[in-house]
């Protein structure tokens, strides 16, 4: 290598480096995508109910206050594992009832607590929502969130 760092050398490092890291980037995107599709997502249990529940979740913008796997707003608790928090692993029926009762009981009006609005959801919407929150709890998020409390 010559002692002086020539313009051509600088250019080659720039383009070569950019190309190299672009290839690495594409590889990582492909890897993440395959991982998300095949490993972390249980497509077999993705029922119509779950899909409808996701629409209930989106239509009512729950994400404006809550997070799902850390994504969303930090006003209210993380909900990706709320199913587990409500005891859904051992007692799915109980967790669904707890969730429905929770949704119907809002806002609590308890002083000093943050309040959640009343969404007036139908029984079907509530069941769909429960199915959605149950399903998201099966996503393998590499042990995220680290605590049961979110």
The answer to the question of residue 4 lying near ligand HEC (CB under 6 A) is: no
Among 80, 116, 126, 136, binds ligand HEC (CB under 6 A): 116
For residues 33 and 55, which CB has a smaller minimum distance to ligand HEC in the complex? 55
Q: How many residues does the chain have?
A: 150
Transcribe 87-139 into DSSP letters.
Answer: TTTT-HHHHHHHHHHHHHH-----TTS---------HHHHHHHHHHHHHHTTS
Mark residues 128-147: x for contact with ligand HEC by CB under 6 A, - for none.
-x------------------
Per DSSP, the three-state class of 27 is helix
Phi, psi values for residue 12, rounded to 5°: -65, -40
Mark residues 66-85: x for contact with ligand HEC by CB under 6 A, - for none.
x--------xxx-x--x--x
Q: At which residue do the structure tokens 């042990």 appear?
A: 143
Q: Which residues bind ligand HEC (CB under 6 A)?
A: 60-62, 64-66, 75-77, 79, 82, 85, 99, 102, 108, 113-117, 119, 129
């Amino acid at each position: 290598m010559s002692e002086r760092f020539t313009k051509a050398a600088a250019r080659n490092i720039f383009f070569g480096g950019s190309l190299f890291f672009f290839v690495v980037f594409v590889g990582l995107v492909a890897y993440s995508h395959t991982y998300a599709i095949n490993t972390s997502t249980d497509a077999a249990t993705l029922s119509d109910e779950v899909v409808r529940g996701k629409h209930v979740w989106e239509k009512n913008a729950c994400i404006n206050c809550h997070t799902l796997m850390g994504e969303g707003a930090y006003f209210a608790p993380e909900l990706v594992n709320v199913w587990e928090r409500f005891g859904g692993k051992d007692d799915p029926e109980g967790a669904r009832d707890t969730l429905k009762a929770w949704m119907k009981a809002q806002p609590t009006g308890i002083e000093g607590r943050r309040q959640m609005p009343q969404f007036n959801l139908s029984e079907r919407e509530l069941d769909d929502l429960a199915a959605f929150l149950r399903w998201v709890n099966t996503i393998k998020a590499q042990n995220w969130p680290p605590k049961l409390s979110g």
